[in-house]
Structure 1
């Protein structure tokens, strides 16, 4: 077999393999952000993250100019029955074909050291990074009036 024929065979084989390669495709829906008051130094964001891909993935980090630090947080109950907010360093799993909810009183994005107050009706830009899927940059509306997803939590 000539070098040209071998190269063509490899190219054809890769052409059949690569398009079918598994990947994660993340969709962000129903996002909103809030803070407890106009002078608050912290805020939080909530949303539905759907993995429309065919492999499991994990939300690993978030960045934004809206705060000095942006972390992934959740609420856990300690041994005394007290709920405490803690950073989730390993991120949040988002299984293939599933939706992971970031909701008040549960998993959420935490903004610490806000660079400006979260004003109702404004938007903040965040970039969400995953283990496998491409990063997703979204503009999240600030909604200080929304009452769903439980108690204020983050």
Structure 2
């Protein structure tokens, strides 16, 4: 009996872990686990994160992002300048052939301004990514209290 219970527990946990992961593809691009951290209701902005894998032989470029949740969505990066870390807007992000680009805290990220409201843990919102070659890809961003555990990539 203990073996059957263990197998059942593994099966149930595996299913719940898969339900939490969400991935999207367009052509040679694969977008893994778009997420946003839950922010206090009075926070003026939020940020979204994801990883773009390019499995193709040609580079692509992320040109813009948009969501009905925000009046404005911009791509930003963190850079070291004069001994301090600062955030600056970027107009596009290159996704190298056979490579990936991580949108993560303290790296590239999507800033959301003029929010209709702050989303809560467990909610999702749409985010449209517009690529030069792959076109538009709509993803669902999962709002979480904590960042996701670093996942082992199988790509």
Structure-2-length-normalised TM-score: 0.74
Shift of 1:82: 1.4
2-side partners of 1:33 and 1:57: how far apart?
24
Tell me what 1:142 maps to: 143
Tell me the alpha carbon deviations over residues 43-91 of structure 1, each in whole angstroms, 9 at most, x when there is no partner: 0011110112221111111010111100000111221x111111001x1
Tell me what 1:43 maps to: 46
2-side partners of 1:61 and 1:25: how far apart?
18
Shift of 1:36: 3.6
Tell me what 1:114 maps to: 115
1-side partners of 2:84 and 2:149: how far apart?
22
Whose Rg is larger? 1
SS in 2 for 1:135: strand
Distance 1:114 1:24, change over 3 A: same
SS in 2 for 1:117: coil
Task: From the two aligned structures, give the one with the greater strand fraction.
Answer: 2
| Residue segments in structure 1 that go unaligned for 5+ positions in a row | 1-22, 150-154
Tell me what 1:86 maps to: 88
Which residues in structure 2 correspond to 1:11-26 (within 5 Å)? 25-26=28-29
What is the aligned counterpart of 1:56 among 55, 59, 67?
59
Shift of 1:30: 2.0
Tell me the alpha carbon deviations over residues 99-138 of structure 1, each in whole angstroms, 9 at most, x when there is no partner: 1111100100110111111211100101101111121100
